């Protein structure tokens, strides 16, 4: 029997595994980098061990240090989570060689399937060797990991070498392995996967299907189970292929077999992930199981048939949305800062998995996912409505997130009618990110901010002068609002708006006969009004706080990893031309020229650490 588990991971997945371990009476051990010393997963565990080294994600790739940490803390088992070393056969062997229990598949199975190139060969498939124009478009993929890292779509043969180089660098940073390969890119496909669970006694379960077609940068955003609108014949085929793949490598534990289904209904094998998936909660909700608990029991040698009389039966529909600290309207730019508050409506059928608590900082070194919100309902339509409503009512105070995008995606007709595919955001991102600010949110912020601050010392014969405040919305639009103190209280200087109530935390406005509540929360640099984020602006801006036209500022904190070949001061650049690449939160972000002109300044250097707003380059358009 396992008595103590070390999770060789961080954040949300570590917290999720710890939760199940506690329910089973198992002690928990966390590992952490310097940046994660006070992270939720380190605070939540019964014991925590610092991994020496830098604060970067590379810390979690040191398998030797993690094994030492497990032994030092008295753990008798290691759970790898997902990402980092979860599909590293060498790490699995090191855990077993140290006399610890590995809560995962055998190293040989990981070795066979973790490399996508070898997995395809095992199933009789081959990656493209020599790419020609006839093969385009193609997909460059990392052989040793997933999550969109090291993945690039190439539509022009001239771009292939550059994208291969970028993919290798990103894959090496994320997985410690820079191997990549090329395969045909299926346009308009649906990403469908099958959850498998196998024990050491020869039993393999195929636990339904999941649709993960809504993706940005080849990383999943919304997932659901079962995959909607899939014919039963195709579902049966996918389940059979998944079981066959698991049996081919004597698989044990939880794993996922992924497919891309073309518009013609043909299923293309993508890979087998030899670990737990981020989206595993939707399968748990539909089948009423705990996959982590089953992973542990399989690792202890239990037979699945001893726990159940057969695979559990599915019921209802479940959908998961990944909440990211990022700005979808600005090229999915990751955001950092303090997550002041994160709360979703409570319900037995609403689940929040997160690695953050209120007040935690969002570090720059890791993936920007803040949480996963999962709902379960009797039907898909009810699940969509419940999840969209929960996200809309969620309290999220901190950096910009993709919350509005998630709500709009769930309510989009292509999604509600199950006609979506992996090109969903390529087609609809502009409309899904179009700003729709509440026009009265700035007024509510001003009224709440002014409540109790202005008091008159004596009687005055003249009416109070209007007060003016200015705010900027998340998309940079500025708003100026005016209000006045009267004997009856605060009065809005806006047509058709009546102030019903105003205090420091709540403002009630009546507009065209309809009363609306505005909950206001203020922090040092931002004010949150319901779901609107505002930045207070000084009444008289500092005239020196500006940059020359054509200035290119860092949109995020990160590291300059590459500068475009041949880029030099005095040379011409074209609008949209890549100038350099920043790495932030384990992804590369292309920084392009803001306009056509001459490069008059270049401050970015490979290896340079930059902060938000730092001047990187200047393009003179004259």
Residues 6+ apart with CB under 8 A from 569: 599, 600, 601, 602
Question: Which tokens hold the place of 619?
Answer: 């393009």
Question: How far is Cα 170 from Cα 167, in angstroms, rounded to an integer?
Answer: 5
DSSP assignment letter at 82: S
Question: How far is Cα 268 from Cα 258, in angstroms, rounded to an integer?
Answer: 9
Locus of tokens 């200047």: 618
Question: How far is Cα 44 from Cα 36, in angstroms, rounded to an integer?
Answer: 12
Residues 6+ apart with CB under 8 A from 118: 111, 112
- Show the CA angle centred on residue 336, arms to residues 334 and 341, nearest 5°: 115
Locus of tokens 């011409």: 572
Burial degree of 193 (CB within 10 A; 0-12, 13-18, 19+): buried
CA dihedral sign, ordered 593, 598, 603, 604: positive
Express the helix, strand and coil content of the chain in percent, nearest 5 each. 25, 35, 40
Choice among 210, 275, 322, 351 that is catalytic: 275
- CA nearest neighbour of 298 among 448, 65, 101: 101
Question: How far is Cα 244 from Cα 248, in angstroms, rounded to an integer?
Answer: 6
Which helix (H) or strand (E) segment holds residue 94: the answer is helix 89-97
Question: Which tokens hold the place of 396?
Answer: 């999220």
Residues 6+ apart with CB under 8 A from 347: 386, 390
- To the query of whether residue 275 is one of the catalytic residues in this protein, the response is yes
Enumerate the H helices of 486-579 as residue ranges.
none
Residues with active-site annotation: 275
């Amino acid at each position: 029997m396992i008595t103590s588990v070390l999770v060789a991971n961080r954040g949300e997945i570590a917290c999720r595994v710890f939760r199940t371990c506690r329910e089973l009476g198992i002690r928990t051990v966390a590992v952490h980098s310097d940046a994660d010393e006070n992270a939720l997963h380190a605070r939540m565990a019964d014991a925590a061990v610092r991994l020496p080294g830098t604060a970067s994600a590379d810390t979690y790739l040191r398998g030797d240090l993690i094994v030492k940490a497990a032994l030092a803390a008295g753990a008798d088992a290691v759970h790898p989570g997902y990402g980092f070393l979860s599909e590293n056969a060498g790490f699995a062997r090191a855990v077993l060689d140290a006399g610890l229990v590995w809560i995962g598949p055998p190293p040989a199975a990981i070795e066979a399937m973790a490399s996508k190139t070898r997995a395809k060969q095992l199933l009789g498939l081959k990656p493209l060797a020599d790419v020609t124009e006839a093969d385009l478009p193609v997909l460059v993929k990392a052989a040793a990991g997933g999550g969109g890292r090291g993945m690039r779509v190439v539509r022009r043969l001239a771009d292939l070498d550059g994208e291969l180089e970028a993919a290798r660098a990103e894959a090496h940073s994320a997985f410690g392995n820079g191997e990549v390969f090329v395969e045909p890119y299926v346009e308009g496909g649906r990403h469908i996967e099958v959850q498998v669970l196998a024990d050491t006694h020869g039993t393999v379960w195929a636990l339904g299907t999941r649709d993960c077609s809504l993706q940005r940068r080849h990383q999943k955003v919304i997932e659901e189970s079962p995959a909607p609108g899939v014919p039963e014949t195709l579902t049966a085929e996918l389940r059979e292929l998944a079981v066959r793949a698991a049996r081919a490598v004597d698989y044990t534990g939880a794993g996922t077999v992924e497919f891309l289904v073309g518009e013609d209904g043909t299923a293309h094998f993508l890979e087998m992930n030899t670990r737990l998936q981020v989206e595993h909660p939707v399968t748990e909700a539909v089948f009423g199981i705990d996959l982590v608990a089953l992973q542990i029991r399989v690792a202890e040698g239990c037979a699945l048939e001893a726990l159940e009389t057969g695979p559990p039966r599915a019921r209802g529909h479940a959908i998961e949305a990944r909440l990211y600290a990022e700005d979808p309207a600005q090229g999915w730019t990751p955001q950092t800062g303090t997550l002041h508050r994160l709360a979703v409506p409570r319900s037995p059928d609403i689940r929040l998995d997160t690695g953050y608590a209120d007040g935690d900082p969002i570090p720059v070194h890791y993936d920007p996912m803040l949480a996963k919100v999962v709902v379960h309902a009797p039907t898909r339509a009810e699940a969509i409505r419940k999840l969209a409503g929960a996200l809309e009512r969620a309290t999220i105070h901190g950096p910009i997130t993709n919350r509005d995008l998630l709500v709009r995606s769930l309510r989009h007709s292509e999604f509600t009618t199950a006609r979506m595919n992996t090109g969903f955001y390529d087609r609809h991102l502009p409309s899904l990110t179009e700003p729709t600010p509440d026009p009265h949110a700035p007024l509510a912020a001003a009224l709440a901010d002014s409540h109790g601050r202005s008091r008159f010392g004596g009687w005055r014969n003249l009416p109070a002068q209007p007060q003016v405040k200015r705010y900027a919305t998340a998309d940079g639009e500025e708003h100026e609002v005016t209000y006045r103190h009267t004997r009856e209280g605060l009065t809005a200087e806006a047509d058709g708006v009546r102030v019903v109530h105003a205090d420091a935390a709540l403002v009630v406005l009546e507009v065209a006969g309809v009363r609306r509540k505005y909950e206001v929360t203020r922090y040092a640099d931002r004010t949150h009004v319901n779901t609107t984020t505002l930045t207070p602006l000084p009444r008289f801006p500092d005239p020196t706080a500006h940059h020359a036209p054509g200035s290119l500022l860092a949109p995020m904190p990160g590291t300059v990893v590459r500068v475009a070949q041949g880029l030099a001061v005095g040379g011409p650049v074209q609008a949209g031309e890549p100038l350099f690449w920043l790495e932030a939160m384990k992804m590369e972000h292309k920084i392009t020229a803001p306009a056509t002109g001459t490069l008059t300044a270049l401050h970015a250097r490979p290896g340079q650490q930059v902060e938000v707003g730092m001047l990187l380059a200047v393009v003179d358009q004259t």
